[in-house]
Structure 1
Amino acid sequence: MERRNPNDVFIKINALLEEAQPRFSKECCIYRVPNNIRKLNEDAYTPDVVSIGPFHHGNQNLLDMEGQKRLYCRQFIERSETKNLESLVSCVQELEAKVRGCYSHDIKLSKEELVMVILVDSCFILELLFKFYFFLTHGDNSILFPDQIMQHIQKDLLLVENQVPFFVLDKLYNLAFPSTLNADDLHNHPLLLRLIAFIIPTYIFPFDKVMLLLPDVGRIAHFIDLIRKLLLKSSQLFQPSCSREAQVTQLYSATELHELGVKFEVNKNTQCLLDLQLSAHTLRIPFIRVHDWTELLLRNLLAFEQCHYIHESYLTDYILFLDFLINTDKDVDLLIKKGIIENWLGDSNAVAKIFNGLGVNLIYPDFNVKYSHIFEELNSFCAHPWNKKVATLKRDYCNTPWKTVASITAIFLLILTIIQTIFSVLQVVH
């Protein structure tokens, strides 16, 4: 048997070690959803009709949109002030290394292929936003998609794996429309942030609220990061920043809290989902509408937080709160009755399953202090012996209208019996 030279092994191992590169760069902000989270609902993280960026590029189910993306890319270049494809290509070429570093997994595309993918996808998004903007503001019906496909495209643009870095959109837009940087008349070419406002779901933020918050959101990584930043920026609870030194504590369900004397109201003083408020024994929760897109958007926001903001996971805290609060359809029915949840799914059990499933396999290395104080006050109130006795009475004797009537009747008869006995004794004594 031929003996290997030890030096050959050393050279090979040394070469492998020299070739090793860090998996994550400081620019990393676009992630593949971890498998332990993705497997819970594959469809929530997978685009339906259009791939954006390299992660889903080449997917056989999405190839039908490639021609449409190139058409929109060409239309964007024709719309631009410069109409210069070469300058746009050069821009993306200069950014290629930085763009590659934005993705968490190795990209099996050459430099030229990645430049083409990012350029076409970015210009497609910008042209789509233009068409959407002019459709909503000027009634220009130039969007070449049926309403159903357009809704799927909007949804696909909000998936954490289906993103391009925002700085690419910004660079290309400014290069295509240099007049927007200093012009007073932005009627034909609005600021990029104004275009992006139309991609934010109105059930999360009203349009006018988005326009007020956008200038102050700071550096944006991509659309999912933008929605998360808008949530935190609009919150009254997390201003300026909230300490996260607390640990997670258990909380009673909504029906249990209600039986123990906690009142539920809609928090009408905020438009942010995260703004919980406890006053005495009244818990105020912001209104939330639950429909077909709710789970998808929340899952992608949570996945992004788990990958990028694990120690600032304020949305994860909110989902944990709802997971504790909602165990069964009875909890959902109570919150619907109080006007906190608007159920567009029709089935209360389906809503319960959504919120019970969102918190599965999430990591909670810490917990925000303000929520922790609310949990502690609620648990302290519920642990009071008198409140427990009242809850037991309600559960055993007043849990249905008939039982309530029967209990009141029994108490009334008991009182009458006692009065009659007292009068009988007094009569005998007299």
Structure 2
Amino acid sequence: MGNQDQVTIELQALLDKEPLIETKSCSIYKVPDEIRQSNVEAYIPMVVSIGPLHHGDSRLQKMEDHKLLYYKHFIQSSNASLSELVSCVRELEPQIRSCYSEKIDLTADEFVRVILVDSAFIIELLLTDEWAKDDVIFLQPWLLSRIASDLILLENQLPFFVFEKLHNLAFSSFLLNNGHHEFPSFMKLAFRFFSFTLNFNKSPEPPHDSSILHFTDQIRYLYLMKQRPSKREHKPLVLGYTAYELVEAGVKFVVNESSSSRGCMLDLEFEYGTLKIPHIVVDDGTEILLRNIVALEQCHYPQEHYIIDYVRFFGQLINTNKDVGVLIKAGIIDDMVGGNYESSVAKLFSDVRKNITVTSANVDYLKLCHDLNAYYNHPWHSKMATLRRDYFTTPWKTAASIAGIFLLILTVIQTVCSILQVLCS
């Protein structure tokens, strides 16, 4: 009876417990285990923690003192008092907590302190110019690059509305009173920072609305850089042949210059036997960047996963070193990893798409795969490609082939003339 009472008590406790349920406002996720298992380090910060999910990690304590330096400068240069800034974060606390998929085990005071210090650090990092020219972050480019990489991580985020509220509260009236009718919004600062660290030719204009959720979402936006395709179909994205096999069938690979210049990496075009693909640089940070955007799309954009479509397409296009070699030779992939680069690039796209579940595909990519498969399966294309490969790959082979054809024609003519001569005699 006593055991039954205890069971009843425990089951009643489960009824009384308020379960954590993801809401529509949730946008910052713990990466699912099945996705993170192939490369755990791609999802955890190496230098600095931002937000509550990795707060307190002993590996990241060295940067905490640096955060306080930036926080101090933020408070000293702010047009708002510390109490006003704290009140701002307190008011936003429920809204901020609802952005996380995980329960945050911090008290209200601890949570406010973490959010304010981390927000101040980020805002000052993006605003930093002369005051921190001797700061260790800017004296060591590798450290700034590592911090920028940590800021991309899906689990290492604060929602943008926090930054914008604090930035406006701290600086907008001060800048306006000093005669600046326009001052850089937090969004513009963020776009300028990542355009620089990601080596964009110029800083793109941020959207006019407040649709961007956080830094991971911003990077996704930067790589889409155009009106996102809206039409999708519930069909599998299947490319039957790799890059090397397509070349064997006569497909020509070239860089899509117009798309590369404006940063959109999704613009793949196929017409008249030529596949145009925007240029992509593959370096040590590419896998981290792609993995975190893919994780965001898997969790937050189940019907708009355009980067996942891109990764799935490339994962089928590249299977071997020969396939990677085709794209490198065409100037489409610029590899900066070093070592056995072909194997590393092939493995990257293979690994990033593992354990991703999708139910639809971009219709543009579906058509692209259909057209490439049809082109490969056309017998005339493969025969012409074999002819070019066997007889016209070098100037000497071309000259010899032309000479052979010319000799064959002369032989035929001579034979016909001989037959006519015999018939007429």
Distance, in Å, in 1 between the alignment partners of 2:197 and 2:270 is 24
User: Per the alignment, do residues 319 and 414 of structure 1 end up closer, same or farther by CA in structure 2, a change over 3 Å counting?
Assistant: same
Please state if 1:361 is matched with 2:340.
Answer: no
Contact 1:54 1:117 in 2 (8 A): yes
How big is the shift at 1:207?
A: 5.9
Query: Within 5 A, what are the aligned runs for 1:47-196?
Result: 47-82=45-80, 84-131=81-128, 134=129, 141-145=133-137, 146-179=140-173, 185-186=179-180, 190-196=184-190
Q: Cα deviation per residue 1:1-45 (whole Å; 9 max; x = unaligned)?
A: xx3275553343122122031331222111111112212122211
Contact 1:198 1:207 in 2 (8 A): no
The alignment partner of 2:361 has SS state of: coil
Distance, in Å, in 2 between the alignment partners of 1:50 and 1:100 is 20
Contact 1:320 1:359 in 2 (8 A): yes
Query: Which sits farther off after the overlay, 65-74 or 198-207?
Result: 198-207
Partner of 2:226: 235
Distance, in Å, in 2 between the alignment partners of 1:127 and 1:100 is 23
How big is the shift at 1:336?
A: 2.0
Q: Cα deviation per residue 1:224-277 (whole Å; 9 max; x = unaligned)?
A: 111212333x236x35x3334443223421121122122222212222101112
How big is the shift at 1:407?
A: 7.0
Partner of 2:13: 15
Q: 1:301 aligns with which of 276, 285, 293?
A: 293
Contact 2:53 2:156 in 1 (8 A): yes
Q: 2:116 corresponds to which letter in structure 1?
A: L
Distance, in Å, in 2 between the alignment partners of 1:291 and 1:148 is 14
Distance, in Å, in 1 between the alignment partners of 2:132 and 2:17 is 53
Q: 2:256 aligns with which of 259, 267, 270?
A: 267
Partner of 1:340: 332
Query: Within 5 A, what are the aligned runs for 1:309-320?
Result: 309-320=301-312
Distance, in Å, in 2 between the alignment partners of 1:257 and 1:404 is 22
Contact 1:245 1:368 in 2 (8 A): no
Query: Which sits farther off after the overlay, 96-105 or 197-206?
Result: 197-206
Please state if 1:220 is matched with 2:218.
Answer: no
Distance, in Å, in 1 between the alignment partners of 2:285 and 2:28 is 21
How big is the shift at 1:400?
A: 8.5
Contact 2:280 2:333 in 1 (8 A): yes
Contact 1:48 1:62 in 2 (8 A): yes
Q: Cα deviation per residue 1:54-82 (whole Å; 9 max; x = unaligned)?
A: 11111111111111111211110111112
The alignment partner of 1:312 has SS state of: coil
Contact 1:180 1:190 in 2 (8 A): no
Contact 2:265 2:278 in 1 (8 A): yes
Query: Which sits farther off after the overlay, 51-60 or 200-209?
Result: 200-209
User: Per the alignment, do residues 374 and 68 of structure 1 end up closer, same or farther by CA in structure 2, a change over 3 Å counting?
Assistant: same
Contact 1:251 1:379 in 2 (8 A): yes
User: Per the alignment, do residues 231 and 360 of structure 1 end up closer, same or farther by CA in structure 2, a change over 3 Å counting?
Assistant: same
Measured on the aligned residues, the alpha-carbon RMSD in Å equals: 2.9
Distance, in Å, in 1 between the alignment partners of 2:182 and 2:336 is 37
Percent identical: 46
How big is the shift at 1:176?
A: 1.1
Please state if 1:383 is matched with 2:377.
Answer: yes
Q: Cα deviation per residue 1:137-169 (whole Å; 9 max; x = unaligned)?
A: xx9725332222222111111111111111111
User: Per the alignment, do residues 113 and 140 of structure 1 end up closer, same or farther by CA in structure 2, a change over 3 Å counting?
Assistant: closer
The alignment partner of 1:25 has SS state of: coil
Partner of 2:32: 34
Query: Within 5 A, what are the aligned runs for 1:266-285?
Result: 266-270=255-259, 271=262, 272-285=264-277
Q: 2:279 aligns with which of 287, 298, 305?
A: 287
The alignment partner of 1:264 has SS state of: strand
Q: 1:325 corresponds to which letter in structure 2?
A: L
Q: How many aligned residue pairs are there?
A: 417
Contact 1:246 1:369 in 2 (8 A): no
Distance, in Å, in 1 between the alignment partners of 2:385 and 2:197 is 36
How big is the shift at 1:344?
A: 1.8
Please state if 1:257 is matched with 2:249.
Answer: no
How big is the shift at 1:326?
A: 1.4
TM-score, normalised with respect to structure 2: 0.87
Distance, in Å, in 1 between the alignment partners of 2:3 and 2:337 is 69
Contact 1:47 1:159 in 2 (8 A): yes
Query: Which sits farther off after the overlay, 295-304 or 264-273?
Result: 264-273
Distance, in Å, in 1 between the alignment partners of 2:415 and 2:197 is 64
How big is the shift at 1:125?
A: 0.6
Distance, in Å, in 2 between the alignment partners of 1:329 and 1:405 is 31
Where do 5+ consecutive residues of structure 2 fail to align? none
Q: Cα deviation per residue 1:381-405 (whole Å; 9 max; x = unaligned)?
A: 2211212333455567778899888
